[in-house]
Structure 1
Amino acid sequence: MMLRFRGATLLPVLKEAQANQCQLILVKDEGVYFMSQFGEKDHTGRQKLLCYADGCNPDTESFDDWWERSRQECGGDDFGEFFDLSDDIFQRLLVDGNDLFVIVTSSEIRLHVEAAFPHSH
């Protein structure tokens, strides 16, 4: 299985990391999401811009659903994994805005972008 991060919600996170010249963090705690290492906070001190994986968002999914999906995809332990925005895959995403697919195993995290299909005229 794999996690899907939608380009429309990932792009603002990538741009925030670019503007702050910092890294991206893939986080698994209350859901699974990408965030900028440094970014704007809301009134509670929580980072404003987060891009949740499909099915792993506690704001839109029931507790049992997001918790179980997060555990199935990433294991039971919480983590934060840092990524360099200058990596080719993130530079491509900044340009094309496609969805990002992530596979987490016990030994690695793999990132994959599917090219968008051209629109028919």
Structure 2
Amino acid sequence: MSHKNSVLFKAALLVPVIQEARQHGCNIALVKDDGLYMLSEKGPINPATRRRLVAYAEGFDPSLVVFDEWYHPLHDICGGDDFVETLEADSPLFDRVVNNSVNLRVEFTASSFLVTPVIPDKPKEEQT
């Protein structure tokens, strides 16, 4: 399966977002604007960033990647328009992220998206 129209969210970054959403009894938003990220719909706002705790898709965090290196690839993956999609925080998919450190792949088509679990590769020292 090709992953050219997809992004990866790492469990280590997602778990705090999922826990925050569950703590506040709200959903998780998948947002494309300045990068691509997930965040809880409710929760405290960080005064420095003026936003809630976020989990950026790998390679699409504008604080770590120069604009031209994330903007054009992201445009190719999921289009030019900004968007917000709502995901239920109590989804069994998010249980797998929290309980088993499973990453999430979000694959985009012209009219929809699909979120699937991705089991991370074991570190080389564990593969003996």
User: Do the two structures share a fold, i.e. TM-score over 0.5?
Assistant: yes
| Residue 32 of structure 1, CA deviation | 0.3
* SS of residue in 1 equivalent to 2:62: coil
Determine whether 1:3 maps to 2:16: no
| TM-score, L = length of structure 2 | 0.86
Matched residue pairs, number?
121
> Could you say which residue in structure 2 is the equivalent of 1:24?
28
Larger CA deviation: 14-23 vs 92-101: 92-101
Structure 2 residues without counterparts, runs of 5 or longer: none
Counterparts of 1:23 and 1:48, CA distance in 2? 13
| Residue 42 of structure 1, CA deviation | 1.6
Out of 40, 64, 69, the residue aligned to residue 68 of structure 2 is 64
Larger CA deviation: 17-26 vs 39-48: 39-48
Out of 99, 102, 107, the residue aligned to residue 103 of structure 1 is 107
| Residue 21 of structure 1, CA deviation | 0.7
Counterparts of 2:31 and 2:79, CA distance in 1? 12
Counterparts of 1:98 and 1:40, CA distance in 2? 26
Out of 40, 43, 46, the residue aligned to residue 44 of structure 2 is 40
Equivalent pair of 1:55/1:69 in contact (CA under 8 Å): no
Residue identity opposite 2:60 in structure 1:
C
| TM-score, L = length of structure 1 | 0.90
